[in-house]
Chains A and B, each alone.
Chain A
Amino acid sequence: EPEVTQTPSHQVTQMGQEVILRCVPISNHLYFYWYRQILGQKVEFLVSFYNNEISEKSEIFDDQFSVERPDGSNFTLKIRSTKLEDSAMYFCASSVTGSHTDTQYFGPGTRLTVL
């Protein structure tokens, strides 16, 4: 069964450094999402992306964050200057359509630790 994959599984970085988290969505999916989950807390929406544009973003997704689909398979989340509070699990998800009834499939996540 096709799966969303994410790399790396764990990223440790120093505060102020840039990080890029990578995702490969399921191949026939057109809508992509990033969520994050701070340890012990709920999953929070960051951004949705379709047709090379951001569809919607949350208040968390400020100017330090950006997303890109650099080629036909990867979907990346960049954090320009990491802060301690960016430490979290970051999940990529994808869906075939952007319909509210369409299932979003989550990747295994990247654990980001900012020191």
Chain B
Amino acid sequence: GQQVMQIPQYQHVQEGEDFTTYCNSSTTLSNIQWYKQRPGGHPVFLIQLVKSGEVKKQKRLTFQFGEAKKNSSLHITATQTTDVGTYFCAGPMGSGNKLVFGAGTILRVKS
């Protein structure tokens, strides 16, 4: 079936260090979406990438969509304690526009 893989599962960094999570889809995606879920919270939409090779930035967050539209990455520069949470990538699939989520990367930041 259609799958979205995400690595690493977990990353614990020192405040100020960088963080990257990688996402890979088994099929070509029309777009990829990134969500952040704080501990005990719900997924909150961060960004959507549509074009092949697209790069978007939100302050310290840089999102990339691969040329083949099957992989993506999220990079956080100089992490802060407010970055703590689980970062999910998700790809829309099927006629019902279901989002297929990656397993998520849990980010912990030591201050």
Contact = CB atoms under 8 A, between A and B. Distances in A.
Interface residues of B, number: 25
A84 interface: no
Interface string A83-100: 000000101000100111
Contacts of B41: 108
Interface of A is mostly: strand
B100 interface: yes
Of B43, B95, B101, most buried by chain A (CB within 10 Å of CB) is B43
A113 interface: no
A48 B98 contact: yes
Contacts, number: 70
A29 to B, nearest CB: 12
A58 B94 CA distance: 11
Contact of B98 (A45, A89, A103, A106): A45
Q: For the complex of A and B, list the 7 residue pairs with the smallest distance between their C-beta atoms, beginning with the closest.
A: A56-B96, A48-B96, A55-B96, A100-B92, A45-B98, A100-B30, A43-B101
A75 interface: no
B43 A102 contact: no
B50 A43 contact: no
A41 B37 CA distance: 12
A109 B98 contact: no
A31 B97 contact: yes
A68 interface: no
B48 A101 contact: yes
Given A42-B88, A101-B30, A55 B97 contact: yes
17 contacts: A33-B97, A33-B98, A41-B103, A43-B99, A43-B101, A45-B100, A55-B97, A56-B95, A57-B96, A95-B97, A98-B97, A100-B92, A101-B30, A104-B99, A106-B35, A106-B44, A108-B42
B101 A99 contact: no
